[in-house]
Structure 1
Amino acid sequence: MSKSVSCILITGANGGLGLGIAKYFLEHDSSCFVYLGVRTNRDHAESVVSDYPDRCATLTLDVTSESAWKQAVTEVEASGRKVTVLVNNAGNHDDHLLATMPKSSWDQVIDTNLNAAFMGSQAVIRGMMTERFGRIINIASLSALLAPMGQTNYAAAKAGVVAMTQSLAKEVARMGITVNALCPGYIETSALDHMSADQAKALKKSIPMRRFGRASEVASAVFFLANADAAYITGSTLKIDGGIF
């Protein structure tokens, strides 16, 4: 990379996509330090830390808690580092038809996907302003652009992430900070484990490339956007979906 990424914080880092992003940075930039933001379950994240003990650490972080974000940033700064790249990757979905969707399902999905990205961005943005450099990369979803039935909560949250990305990008562009969003389609992670072989086969037929994406293919896009060579790209939304939309 033409400018070293000194410190990257990845949320939802115990899942397949978060782990894939972390490993990509660790394998392709020997100078970076990676914080893996996790809430309670951290077994997979700890295995990455064991492989890169001098360049990687877990960070306890409930992305839906403003105080937890403040504590996480304080912990990073206490180590002598500042977050220069934030990957808002944490998220989940709880699908229901709107007519029967519990209010708790709506609130929880909005909180985890949209409010968390807001709180995370706000927690790091002042430090980035001080450094006159920063990268915020929001992992949205293809559902933000092509909303499926049964995901009114998730699609609304991810569409909000895309809009937030565009607005924030304008606010901080003059300070050397870029803000971009990625919209992955079907990616080979545990999120697809519920599918039967027949369901997966049928779904692949709907994808022009006839396959699911790999976590590394999303990670490489994150890595590029974090690179100083991508300094003139901001407010953009990149879909990674094999040509679905």
Structure 2
Amino acid sequence: MYALLALALLAARLLIRWLAPRHPVRSATPPDYPVIAHLVGGRRRVALAAIGAARVAGAIDVLPTGTGFRFDPGPAVSDVERTMARVFGRGWRWPPIRDSIEARMAAQKVAEHADDLGLTGTLRAVPAHGLATLAVAAVAAGLASAAAPWWAFVALVPAYALLVRPTRRDFAGEVVVRSVRTARPDLHPWRQASWTGVTPASAGLAVALYGATALRAIDKEFARRLLDPVPRHQRPWPVAAGGGSGDADGGCGDDGCGDGGE
């Protein structure tokens, strides 16, 4: 019974992949890392990826107290990286940087560019594939123990099909993100032997795909000072108007610390 259920779920998964609409992408080349970041995690991931790229470019740094500052980036950085560096110049840190008006406007431009490429939406509301598989397996085990009829197992197939289908990102964006992950396995934080000599674009793409984990792999000390809450005894005095100490308490997730959603 379990073997038949597994085969049915696999067939449903393949059928979804085959029948799902594929919206044409206007550009044959992979999009730049801000678009990938938008597809993976929306505004928060766009800001974090740009921060990673700007850090590798030498445009920003964070003091041990958690206060950010910037250098003159020159023409070597992109517009979104320049925006993040400008916000850094106010002495802010994460998440006030992410929630600034400049960061929101930069993310909006990235979203509009993604729409022009035929790529819409952001990441799924939940990691649907893994959770769906576990949920269906648990329900199937309960049905088997209760000696349920065969049609109860068959009913799990459409339920599984609905769960694994992307809920917020269209299939074109799904294909692009997966193709970039497949084409650049060297950017995975656990596979990269050394990040010495990495380019800003590669750093931005790594953070776009893997979030704060990649940023910590690229520059552990910088990521710690940026994302981790500053100990109370190390917090600076409030800065005058035009800046801020940027205290940010709260837990750290895949896109850094603090609350605040999309």
TM-score by length of 2: 0.27
- Relative contact order: is structure 1 or structure 2 higher (C-alpha 8 Å, sep ≥ 6)? 2
Give the strand-richer structure, 1 or 2. 1
Q: Which has the larger radius of gyration?
A: 2
State the TM-score, normalizing by the size of structure 1.
0.28
**Structure with the bigger percentage of helix:** 2
